[in-house]
Amino acid sequence: MISKLSAILERFEKLSELVSDPEVIKDIELWQKYVKERAEIEETANKYLEYKKIEEDGKGAEELLKVETDPEMKAMLEDEYYSCKKKLALLVDELKILLLPKDPDDGKNVIVEIRGGAGGEEAALFAYELYRMYVKYAESNRWKTEEIDSNTTELGGIKEVVFSISGKGVYSKLKYESGVHRVQRVPDTESQGRIHTSTVTVAVLPEAEDVEINIDEKDLKIDTFRSSGAGGQHVNKTESCIRMTHIPTGIVVTCQDERSQIKNREKAMKVMKSRLYDYYNTKYQSEYAANRKSQVGTGDRSERIRTYNFPQGRITDHRIGYTIYSLEDFLMGNITDMIEALAIADREAKLSSQEED
């Protein structure tokens, strides 16, 4: 661990010199690259500097203890020595966490896709509640949400909704939400008070950058059609909706949120890039399935990850066995405790895996 930290500190000091070099500053792209790399390792470098200083203070106190004869001074030196040992133990834990491999997607915006599963209209109604939950959570974090496509039901449910969330570190928080969400409750239409079980699938995709996914136009089939939703005469006259098909993978994206065909095409392309990025990334990760066993958040989307039980007012995440008894509050977007619990469990699993290696 110390050799890794020494190399990081050495690189940090070198980068600090480079970002101040007039020749580097002239090359804006190179300067930005160095600034970004420096920012990524700054916390680790500073924490290691703190570790080195406390380690040095502890060694100094230990050396003085060997020659000190005054009882009062010895007691003070012993206090300092053991205080340094305690601080070093805490810093070691912090440094281990900082050395864990970073998810390269953590800083990205996301595309979220929510679809009603088993349960018909009840599943569609719950899909809408999940959509509202994520929008409210985004608002509490001052993130921006934008609907891309949706398919609603007459009773106010959602068969499918696709929307983007942009802001600082969105994927790092929401990546744990992909999977099957199960709801248990008595539907309004149930006259005998029986509890029904329905499911909704959620997919959280990191938004792909242009440099990561390059789509050849000849691999795309693009169809235009008229909106099937509400919208008056405009709907009947303008073929503004887009259906985009990526021929090699068969991935299909539709977008009818905007009245402008150009804007719908831009939104559809953004979703297509994110789905392709996820498609190829998942394909790559499947080759290392054993590694994914030590991770909590981004596994198989067919996995049932969470149950929302209305009669008992509880939410249980099955991956970590964590339960919260404030269902109404949770569905209003107050999901921070759950997300933090998942992040801690994921980190502990990775630390455990690292120690085994």
DSSP 244-277: EEETTTTEEEEE-SSS-HHHHHHHHHHHHHHHHH
Q: What is the pLDDT of residues 78-93, one digit of tens each?
A: 999 999 999 999 999 8
- Find the mean pLDDT for residues 285-302: 49
Residue 241 bridge partners (DSSP): 225
CB distance 252 to 242 below 8 Å? no
Residue 236: the pLDDT is: 39
| CATH architecture type of domain 217-283 | 2-Layer Sandwich (3.30)
Question: HSE (CB half, 13 Å, CA atoms) of 163?
Answer: 22
* Diameter of the chain measured on Cα atoms: 96
Q: Chain-centre distance of CA 143, in angstroms?
A: 13
Count of residues in the chain: 357
CATH class of 110-211+295-352: alpha beta
* pLDDT tens readout for residues 234-276: 443 556 788 889 988 888 888 876 667 788 888 888 888 888 8
Residues 6+ apart with CB under 8 A from 289: none
pLDDT of residue 36: 87
CA 189 to CA 192: how far, in whole Å?
9
Residues with Cβ within 8 Å of residue 309, at least 6 apart in sequence: 184, 185, 315, 316, 327
Helix (H, G, I), strand (E, B) or coil at 199: strand
